[in-house]
Chain A
Amino acid sequence: DQQVKQNSPSLSVQEGRISILNCDYTNSMFDYFLWYKKYPAEGPTFLISISSIKDKNEDGRFTVFLNKSAKHLSLHIVPSQPGDSAVYFCAASARVSTNAGKSTFGDGTTLTVKP
């Protein structure tokens, strides 16, 4: 039973347009969400996060939206650039004392931005 799902394995957009990457979760205990970006042959790097007390967090070209009732979050990249081409992982965590900061990851979405 996959608790974090990224239903689109891949996404292709034109440079300058908006990229929207989606993530759904099933565990209602999750209350902190992170997006990581991964280039080939490298480890994931942190991109942006959001707490469940917010519904939006923005950092430059990157915005994450959280819809708690739908258990859905999305990452918007505007404008998209060729250097944004990478695999994007959604991750979710629960703020319980026994959690030890663990995150559950989705399977990733490969974004390709075409010049």
Chain B
Amino acid sequence: NAGVTQTPKFQVLKTGQSMTLQCAQDMNHNSMYWYRQDPGMGLRLIYYSASEGTTDKGEVPNGYNVSRLNKREFSLRLESAAPSQTSVYFCASKPTPAVDQPQHFGDGTRLSIL
């Protein structure tokens, strides 16, 4: 059971470089989400896709773009990385946008920007 797979697991970038974080789920889920977690803080929503073909901004979208490539895949792109984007990034999915369904998370991508 792969669930939600995130690649890469670790990445170091220099300021100004670009990077795409990949996320794929094999549970046939409709809704997918990208979060970031900074030290000592909770998860903050960057972007989400309620269903294939739709994407919307979350709480902290500045500096990021997303692509819902198909039902399985939802990628997050940093066009010009900044040190403030150093964080752990989590992708999550769930069957539908209904609130009473819990999210399934990947194990995260640890991103450092120097």
Interface contact B45-A42, CB-CB below 8 Å: no
| Structural contact, A45 and B105, CB atoms closer than 8 A | yes
- Asked if A43 and B4 sit within 8 Å, CB to CB, the answer is yes
Q: Are A49 and B50 in contact (CB under 8 A)?
A: no
B103 touches A103 (CB 8 A): yes
Contact A43–B108 (Cβ < 8 Å)? yes
A70 sits at the interface (CB 8 A): no
Is A44 in contact with B50, judged by CB distance below 8 angstroms? Answer: no
The dominant DSSP class at the A interface is loop
Closest Cβ of chain A to B19, distance in Å, is 20
CB distance from B85 to the nearest CB of A (A): 19
A46 & B102 in contact (Cβ 8 Å cutoff):
yes
Instruction: Decide if B42 touches A51 in the complex (CB within 8 Å).
Output: no
Q: In the complex, how many residues of chain A place their beta carbon closer than 8 angstroms to a beta carbon of chain B?
A: 28
Give chain A nearest CB distance to B63 CB in angstroms. 20
Q: Whole-angstrom distance from the CB of A26 to the nearest CB of chain B?
A: 14
Whether B41 is near chain A, meaning CB under 8 Å from some CB there, is yes
A108, B42: Cβ atoms closer than 8 Å: yes
- Are B107 and A41 in contact, with the CB atoms below 8 A? yes
A6's closest neighbor in chain B, by CB?
B42
Contact flag A34-B40 (CB < 8 Å), given A43-B90, A102-B58: no
B-side residues, CB < 8 A to A, are 4, 31, 33, 35, 40-45, 48, 50, 56, 58, 90, 92, 94, 96-108
A4-B42, A43-B90, A101-B94 known, 20 other contacts, Cβ within 8 Å = A9-B40, A32-B100, A41-B107, A41-B108, A42-B108, A43-B92, A43-B106, A43-B108, A44-B43, A44-B90, A45-B105, A51-B100, A94-B99, A99-B99, A101-B96, A101-B98, A101-B101, A102-B33, A103-B103, A107-B42
